[in-house]
Every structure is written in structure tokens, then in C-alpha cells.
Amino acid sequence: MIPSAYPEKSEIARLSARMLLEIKAVHFNARKPFILASGLPSPTYIDCRKLISYPRIRSTLMDFLSVTIMRDVGFEAFDNIAGGETAGIPFAALVAERLALPMSYVRKKSKGYGRNARIEGVMTEGQRVLLVEDLTTDGGSKLSFVDAIRETGATCGHTAVIFYYGIFPETEKTLGDHGIELHHLCTWWDVLAEAKAGAHFDAETLSEVEKFLNDPRAWQAAHKT
């Protein structure tokens, strides 16, 4: 069903952060930092994949993402919803259902056999495609997915995510230079504010997380092993 409720963006951000904290998808640990895919340390980690196991939260967030897309871009702006392998696939399917649109997904790389395709499902020339993912950090991983979509002759100028780090200033420029506009529900700043309000972590941990968010590169350099 196409959502018809339109909360303010600030309320969507607050509630999205609250839900992520409630299911313990958010992890803060300054004493034993997490190692990211880049090999760099971080006192923060988020696991949006957990959302698929919580039907009420999953449904609410997908309503939020759908109305955000319609409000930010338009009600008839897309012809196809594409999910990025693998985390974006369930969310793309849920958004496509709400917007009554076809769904496809994009592989990280070709299978190497059969049709050797990166696009699964039906995507045709001229379609306006929205790329849906669980999150974005610096935006880099989105570029390959978008390029694969464009190689079909379809267009892709927008990506929508549940969570956006919101701490690396180059992210939106990286995407913008590639002709992509980012849409999101909440950031680390929203999560930090809600974590403080709900006393989800001790004051020392929250203080260290805030230091990281204010200057992530400096924090990582200081804690690199």
C-alpha cells in the first residue's frame, strides 16, 4: 500500500534513530574500536540488516523511505526500484511494493557464467531507476551499481538509504559529481542525539563517539594500530 502519512523530516530522523537503537543495530565502543572494511578503526558500527527481522520497525521505516522519496523527488519519478547486492535487496523489494513499481537488483560483479549479467530482473532502456541500499558511508560503493544500471540504457540519478553516516563531507560531492542525489532517513548525528536522550550508553562512550563524529579522520589516525 502506498503510504499516505507525511511526518516532518526531523521526526522521521528521530524515530528512525530510535528504532535502530531499540533493536541494538547501533554499536558504540571507544575502548575496542571496530575495524571497518577500509581497515580503519571506528568507535561506531551499525547493522541495518537486522531490520528485516523486526516487522513493525521494518514496515515503518519502509513507509518513511517511500514518503521521503515521493516528497523529495516526485510521485511519478521512477519506473523501477533497484536494490544493491546484498543488503539493499530486501529494502528495494519493500519500497517497490509500496510504490507499486517493478523491482530488480544489481550484482556487485558479474556471475562469470550463464548470461554473465549484473542486473537481475527486468530493466529496460529509458527506465528511470531508483537505487535503494541499506546505508552509505562515503558514497563510493554506489557508483559501480549506478554505472551497471546506466549500461542497460536506463537512467539513475537518485539513491535512497535508511542510514547515512553524515560525517564525511566529500560524500555528497562524490555522488553529485556522478549525477546522483542522495536521500536518507537519519545520520550518526541523529543517532547520537537519541542515544543521549535515552541514555543508551555511558557518558564517556558518548563523548568519545562525539569526538569521532566531529573529526573522524583525526580520530582514526590517533587510534590506528
Q: What is the pLDDT of residues 141-155, one digit of tens each?
A: 899 999 999 999 999
Q: Answer yes or no: is pLDDT of 113 > 90.
A: no
Confidence category of residue 25, pLDDT binned at 50, 70, 90: very high
- Residues forming a β-bridge with 79: none
Domain annotation covers residue 131 = yes
The CATH number for 205's domain is 3.40.50.2020
Instruction: Provide, for the chain, the percentages of residues in helix, strand and coil under a 3-state DSSP scheme, each rounded to the nearest 5.
Output: 45, 20, 35
Q: How many domains does the chain have?
A: 1
Give the domain extent around 98.
Answer: 9-212
Domain annotation covers residue 221 = no
Domain annotation covers residue 153 = yes
Predicted TM-score (pTM) above 0.85: yes
CA distance 215 to 72: 29
Q: Answer yes or no: is pLDDT of 224 > 80.
A: yes
DSSP 115: T
Q: What is the pLDDT of residues 33-61, one digit of tens each?
A: 999 877 889 999 999 999 999 999 999 99
CA distance 153 to 172: 24
Domain annotation covers residue 223 = no
